[in-house]
Each structure stands twice: as C-alpha cells, then as structure tokens.
Structure 1
C-alpha cells in the first residue's frame, strides 16, 4: 500500500503549524511492483559454464604446481631426517656427560614398535639409529640389561626414500669431497663423558675426530645429479661432536652435496 501526502489548502497554515497532513491511497500499475521486486532479487548458485571454467583453471594450476610440490616434499623429507639425526647426536652428547658413561650411536634395524631389532650392524645405515650407554664398555650393544638404550630413531624404515652418504673429511683436505683414505662410511660414533667425540667404520676401532663427519641426505628417486643436489640436505659433525645442518644458501665447500659412491 502506498500513500500520497495531500495538504488541505483551506487549512494549509494550520497544517503547517501543527505538522499534520492528510494521506490518500494511491494505486500503481502492476509492472511497477514487478520491476521493484527484481531489484531485490539476488543470484543463487552458479551456472554449468561457470563451474567448467573454475574446474579448468584449477586443473591448469595443479599441472603447473605439481612438479614443484613433489620436489618440495622430497626436500622436506631429507631435511626432516637430518633434523632427527641432529637431535639424536645432541641428546647423546649430553647423556654421556650426565651418565658419566660412553654413549655410542650405531646403525640398527628398527622394529615396528620403535625398539632396535638385535644389535648394531653397518648394513642398516640409513634405516635407523640407536644411541646407547655402554655400561660394561665392551664396544657393543647387547640388551637393556647389560647396556642402557637411550633413544632410537627410524629413518627410512622399509620405505627407503632417502639416500645417505657418510664421509669423514680430515682437517687440511678439500671439503668438497671425502678423503681417499675413507673407503668405508663412518656410521659409528662415540661420545665420551669428557666431551670428546670419536668415529669408526666398523664399531671397533674408534678414532678421535680432527675434522668433520659429513652426512649428505637426498631423494633416492631423483633422476639425475642436479635433482639430487637440489633436494639434498647436508649435516656436519665437527671434532667436538657439535652438529650443524647447512643452510641451502651456505656456500662453504664442506656444505656441498656429496653423492653416494
């Protein structure tokens, strides 16, 4: 219903003074209401053409982003395992001082419940690692009755997605590649209570480190050397057992990726 305001001319002065006015009903044609109703209508949903356009754009963006996403995932996998190793080393170093016992880190096969399967074995390098306190100081892990298991970590497990190389780089040699004397990988490490750090290739003859242990991690499925280098993370252990993860923009020679021979 619409109203039209009409002033009574005879009482115009009175109406103005009192603010009162008379209203009359006014009728409008039907099309007036139809146009006004359309003004307040809003579009709901979307058309099939709009849906197809959105799907096409999303598909194109996915095709462009997928290769970069795969590389990012592979790089993060290697970096995550490098962090696990670094944290294990830091913890083992502190435990050697706290327990006043030599603490060893060795390669092991990790069971599904997270415990080490049997003893240490070099063939499990890159599969898992165990840190244990050698209570009877016989240079080998037997069980938690004789020795003290401190912490174990799963690296590849059964997936084998990350490739590892372990190298010893003595002081005075070129840091871009391992020395020729290091024919076997240095995958056995020892922390003594006095803070010294040693390494070994077989878990028997430990040498005090005067250089760096270099661990290179990368995507095992990478097709070529450049891709492996782009997805790699390098971890360094110095002569005192301090661990460092090289930044991607670190230009030091020792932080260059070393492929597994």
Structure 2
C-alpha cells in the first residue's frame, strides 16, 4: 500500500487555534492604528493639493488661493478650497464662486480627522506653546476665511502652518498622533510629526 499523507484532526485544530490567537492580537492593533493611518492620509492629501496649487500658480502665471473653513475664521467644517484667482483680486474682492477649482472636506475623506491640536502642544518651530487657530495663515479678514495664496513665482503671500489631529485626540489631549504642514517664504511645504519622547515637532 502507498503511504497516505495529510493532516490529522489535532493538527488542524492546533493551526486554527493559532490563527484565532493571531487574529485576536492583530485586530485590536489595527483598530488602534486606524486613526494614525487616516491622519497620515489626510496630511498627504493636503500636502499634495498645496503642491498642486503652487505648481498651477507658476504655470498659469497668476495667484492660486487656498482658503480654510468658512468666513470669519471658522474651521469647524474641516474644509479647504482652492481658487484659481485669475484676476489676482482675492485680497480685495474675496470669494468668487466661478474661480473655485477644488473643495475638500477632510473629515468626509478621512473619518474623524480635521483641523486642531491638543492643548499644551508647541508650534512647529518648537519655540512656544501653540495658541489660537489651528491654521495660522492670517490673511483673513472679518468677512473672509483664513487664507493665503501662491504667487506666480511659487512663493506665498504669507507663511503659516496647518495643524491636523484626530477628533478624539483633540478632546482627550493626546499629542503623539498630531501632524502639521508648514509653508515657508519660498513656498516650500514641509510635513511635521510630533515626537512625544522629545516633546518636539520633527
């Protein structure tokens, strides 16, 4: 008779038990990682759109405006808008609906993510504690949202930083999953992570 090879019932039970234990460990770990994964996605989305707007400003030789939230510096809708400011008059005229080229609701694309920061967190220059709005570009006025623009040479009209955080971390004060994006004088966009070990942005 030929040798018959296969798995015994005991071997199958042992394998299934090991798989069950592995799944029991992996699922909670993944669930804990989901907010960080979504926040990283949101940061990449914003950074990509800022880079795109800067590139369009240079190639079209006119201003591209990025506006955050609603008028009067209200950020609770977690939205940003990109305007092709063909006539370069956003600073005086404000929003013109026909110039809107993109609208992104961060919390729709990345559940429970948005503008914000945990109390006691530092600014990205690590100099002092962050206070005020989670988007620090201060071009806005009483009837405008928070905004800035990329000029045809690729530089911004004003520098600033966008702070992003999971909603649950803003409520609880957790800092380690915080992200930020800053735009410097030349138009360079930098992504930041908060290091809890050093209590510094890196």
TM-score, normalization: structure 2?
0.70
Alpha-carbon distance in structure 2 between the residues aligned to 1:138 and 1:250:
39
- Are 1:219 and 2:180 an aligned pair? no
| Larger-gyration structure (1/2) | 1
Post-superposition shift, 1:158? 8.1
Shift of the 249–239 alpha-carbon distance from structure 1 to 2, 3 Å rule, reads: same
Please state if 1:242 is matched with 2:188. yes
Q: Return the match for 2:5 from 20, 40, 43.
A: 43
Gaps of 5+ in 1: 1-36, 109-119, 199-207, 257-261
1:130 and 2:81 aligned: yes
Unmatched segments (≥5 aa) in structure 2? 137-145
SS at match of 1:215: strand
Shift in Å, 1:92: 1.1
1:87 aligned onto 2:51: no
Pair 1:233-2:194 in alignment: no
SS in structure 2 opposite 1:216?
strand
**2: CA distance between counterparts of 1:143 and 1:82?**
26
CA distance 1:253–1:60, shift in 2 (3 Å): closer
Summarize the Cα distance change of 1:215–1:46 in structure 2 as closer, same or farther, 3 Å threshold: farther
| 2:194/2:200 contact within 8 Å kept | no
Q: Kindly indicate whether the alpha-carbon contact (under 8 Å) linking 1:168 and 1:214 is maintained by their aligned counterparts in 2.
A: no
C-alpha spacing 1:224/1:241, structure 2 compared with 1 (3 Å): same
State how far apart, in whole Å, the 2-side matches of 1:128 and 1:104 are: 14
Structure-2 residue corresponding to 1:10: none
CA deviation after TM superposition for structure 1 residue 81, in Å? 0.8
Give the distance between the partners of 2:48 and 2:33, measured in 1 at CA. Answer: 22
TM-score scaled by length of structure 1: 0.57
- Whether the 8 Å CA contact 1:81–1:155 is kept in 2: the answer is yes
For these two proteins, the number of residue pairs brought into alignment is 185
Partner of 1:143: 97
Structure 2 CA distance for partners of 1:183 and 1:233, relative to 1, 3 Å: closer
1:125 and 1:192, CA in 2 relative to 1: closer, same or farther beyond 3 A?
Answer: farther
> Is 2:39 the counterpart of 1:78?
yes
Q: Which residue of structure 2 aligns with residue 13 of structure 1?
A: none
Show the counterpart of 1:165. 116
Give 1:54 shift. 2.5
In the alignment, what sits opposite 1:106?
67
Task: Classify the secondary structure of the residue corresponding to 1:177.
Answer: coil
SS of equivalent to 1:236: strand
TM-superposed CA distance for 1:197, in Å, is 1.4
SS at match of 1:56: helix
Tell me by how many angstroms 1:160 deviates: 4.6
1: distance between equivalents of 2:199 and 2:186? 20
* Residue aligned with 1:130, SS: strand
Matches of 1:169 and 1:231 in 2, distance apart? 15
1:190 alignment partner, one of 149, 154, 157? 149
